[in-house]
Amino acid sequence: MSKKLKRCESCNDPINWDDTVILVEDDVYHKDCVELYPTGYFAMIDGEPIGETENDNGGVAWEYFDDHELEGLDE
């Protein structure tokens, strides 16, 4: 089975199992890579909008993805 890790859409680093992530539509970002604005929450990178999100505080990556999609988990 080919292992395809989830990567941050901004920095392109792999998502570790314990990273705090922000989901925007079908994309995942490290919380530190985006700026959140409390307008329902709208995520931005370098002042450019990337879309709306519902998880304004972020969430731990393992809550959203399968083990084979995350870095730092032993198989």
Q: What is the pLDDT of residues 4-60, one digit of tens each?
A: 889 999 999 999 999 999 998 889 999 999 988 766 677 889 988 888 877 667 788
Domain boundaries, the chain: 1-75
Buried b (16+ CB within 10 A) or exposed e, 4-20: eebbbbbeeeebbeebe
CB 8 within 8 Å of CB 34: no
Task: Name which residue leads in pLDDT, 2 or 17.
Answer: 17
Confidence of residue 75 (pLDDT cuts 50, 70, 90): low
DSSP 68: G
- What pLDDT is stored for residue 30 in this prediction? 95
